[in-house]
Amino acid sequence: MAAQPDPGRSTEQIVSQFLSKALHAILAARIPFIHGPTIPTSRPPRKRDRWFHLALGDPPPALEHPSGLLPNGVMEPLVVDILLSPREDPTMPEAIVERWVAQCEVPAPWSPLHSPAESSSNSFLVKRTYKKSIILLRSIYSVLRLLPAQRVFKMLCASNQSYNYDLTYRVSSFAEPFSRKEEAEFRSHYFSPVETQYGQLAVSVQYRPSLSQFNLEISSLLPPMLITDYVGSPAADPMRTFPASPSERSATRSSISYSFRGSRDGRPSTSAPASAPLFNRPHSWTGAPNEGPSHRAQPAHQPPTGSQRKPTFNFDEFKFSPPFYMSPTPSPPKFSGSYMQSPLRAESAPVSIPQSGTSKVKGLRSPNLSDPTRNFLPPPSPKSARTAEPSSQDSESKSFRKPDGLRISDAYSNMYGTPKGPKDGKDDSGRFSLSGSPRFTFSRSSSRISVPDDLDDPDFSYPFAVDDVDSSDSQARSNDGKEALDFGHASSSHKSQDAAVGELVHMLKTAAPLRDSTYSSQSSKSELQEEGLGSTSSFFMSRMASDALDELQSYKNIKEMLLSQSRAKLHESLRRNN
């Protein structure tokens, strides 16, 4: 007979997974860019998705191990504060817009729910708990979309602009209760609790019914600047890499500090791996994208008497930047101050092909405007970016996750060794700071453009959208039998040269047929006589014809020169190859 699963352990696992999934749902609906790319429908559901029959995709790194979420077990409450953090003025306080509380409440001894469940009905209770948890999670998911903060979240996600506020979060096992005045500003919604073997799994949310007091507007953090080498500019080198968005750049100045005061607890955690940390102290962690070292000091708080929680609750908080942990979406190309220092280049407007065969036509350099691999256009919006570039985002988000996951695990491992100290003692043994610069300089912007170093012909015009092909490409093309025109620079654009030649040929072909000058003059004379015009007109007509002939001759000379040069280059390249 197969051993029956322990109902107690099953219930604990259900509650633990429920809290983890609830947190995942809350953060995914409130913190911009914390979530990975949208789950492809073709991807088979993973084991994690099957929990509560709600596929939410891969969780953020901090939620990879649900055991780390509740180191003191499932009886510890989970408090998630969603905050609006002013971006431009760090001195302004953050404001809590939502507070989610999920906990397993042990019923009072006099409550009819306090009677222990019979062993024979334990499995039935587990199944019922699981089924109700499924519905409760669906309700949480729905309510998240109906609360006012959803609108703010959508604004921050959808727009490529940066706003004067950020949505951040704070997760802890205990939070300071609101004052009476604050309490009056909030409304509450209580979900029906789910009965479990350990008590009632209760979830509630306090939220601000209106966020109009926060004037959410586009941030004016960036000073106005004159951008000369914009994306698509003729002066911009296609291979130039533009820096990340200002939010990412500002985050490079922030450091992530973790401080832990923890101690080893001998109580085993059934749902955690063997190496999971065990504490008898709650902890909290927050997500703040653009903050420096933690300035917030959460005072030690004594829980209300009569509570069945442990009497000592001191917690430190550490902040990290979940949006830049994940940062799956490309940010709009923003230009750093170094761009302002670059010399202004006088760029001429595109003009037609030069009419003379002089050496004005020197280096043909044009931006890579048509190469699809070099995206000159602003990156798409986050949603479309997620759907449009799944593979790249997958790889990049994974590259984010791994180091961050390792860092989090390092943080937890640091907690193992911290001895039991005084409740309010400052223990720096677990403190370490994470520099966000490697992470923050990673730009998901798809506009990787390099500035050319040697644009020395500002008067040259780029009438065509052409590729910027280097010498190796030119050899390849010449080997293919295409004509490669080089005006003396390695980075000349063959397509533009081809286009120039093509245009010339087209002009020559479509030019009005030139009559014989005598015939034309005679005919024009006759025409003019017929029309009653004087001899000066005929002279003028013949003059125009001769000019046209001269022009034609010059075009032909240019063409022959170009062709001869290209042939010479081709021979040279073939000789080098051989």
Partner 1 sequence: MNCETCQLKELELDPTEIRDVLRCVVHTIFFHRALGLVRPKDVDCELFEITYVQCGDAELEKKIDEKLEQFVAWSEKHPNRKSQVCLSFYEVKSKQSSWFGSKVERHYWEHWIVNVNVHPINPPRSSFLNNREKVLEETSTRRSALETSVREILFQIIKFANEKQEHIPPVTNTEVVSFPYEISTPR
Whole-angstrom distance, CA of residue 9 vs CA of residue 544: 99
Judged by CB under 8 A, the residue of 75, 106, 154, 527 near partner 1 is 154
Interacting residues with partner 1 between 80 and 109 (CB under 8 A): none
Number of residues engaging partner 1 in binding (CB under 8 A): 28
Is 53 one of the binding residues for partner 1 (CB under 8 A)? yes
Judged by CB under 8 A, the residue of 5, 6, 50, 93 near partner 1 is 50
Burial 183-217 (b: 16+ CB within 10 A, else e): eebbeeeebebbebbbbbbbbebbbbeebeebeee
Is 388 one of the binding residues for partner 1 (CB under 8 A)? no
Is 150 one of the binding residues for partner 1 (CB under 8 A)? yes
Is 216 one of the binding residues for partner 1 (CB under 8 A)? no
Is 117 one of the binding residues for partner 1 (CB under 8 A)? no
- Closest C-alpha to 416, from 563, 561, 546, 266: 266
Question: The tokens 């961050």 sit on which residue?
Answer: 404
Whole-angstrom distance, CA of residue 111 vs CA of residue 115: 8
Is 45 one of the binding residues for partner 1 (CB under 8 A)? yes
Is 127 one of the binding residues for partner 1 (CB under 8 A)? yes
* Contact map string, positions 325 to 344, toward partner 1, x by CB under 8 A: --------------------
Is 239 one of the binding residues for partner 1 (CB under 8 A)? no
Least gap, CB of 446 to partner 1 (angstroms): 25
Is 187 one of the binding residues for partner 1 (CB under 8 A)? no
With CB under 8 A as the contact rule, which of the stretches 147-155, 314-322, 499-507, 519-527 interacts with partner 1? 147-155
- Closest C-alpha to 96, from 110, 108, 112, 85: 85
Is 143 one of the binding residues for partner 1 (CB under 8 A)? yes
Count the Cβ atoms, other than its own, within 10 Å of residue 250: 18
Is 113 one of the binding residues for partner 1 (CB under 8 A)? no
- Closest C-alpha to 322, from 425, 436, 422, 433: 436
Burial of 35 (0-12, 13-18, 19+ CB in 10 A): buried
Identify which of residues 41 and 518 has a Cβ nearer to partner 1 in the complex. Answer: 41
- Closest C-alpha to 53, from 139, 133, 146, 129: 133
Question: Do residues 228 and 342 touch, judged by C-beta distance below 8 A?
Answer: yes
Count the Cβ atoms, other than its own, within 10 Å of residue 274: 6
Burial 377-402 (b: 16+ CB within 10 A, else e): eebbbbeebbeebbeebeebbeebbe
With CB under 8 A as the contact rule, which of the stretches 48-56, 347-355, 391-399, 458-466 interacts with partner 1? 48-56
Least gap, CB of 29 to partner 1 (angstroms): 9
Least gap, CB of 45 to partner 1 (angstroms): 6
Contact residues for partner 1, defined by CB under 8 A: 39, 41, 45, 49-50, 53-56, 127, 131-132, 134-136, 138-139, 141-143, 145-146, 150-151, 154, 189, 191-192
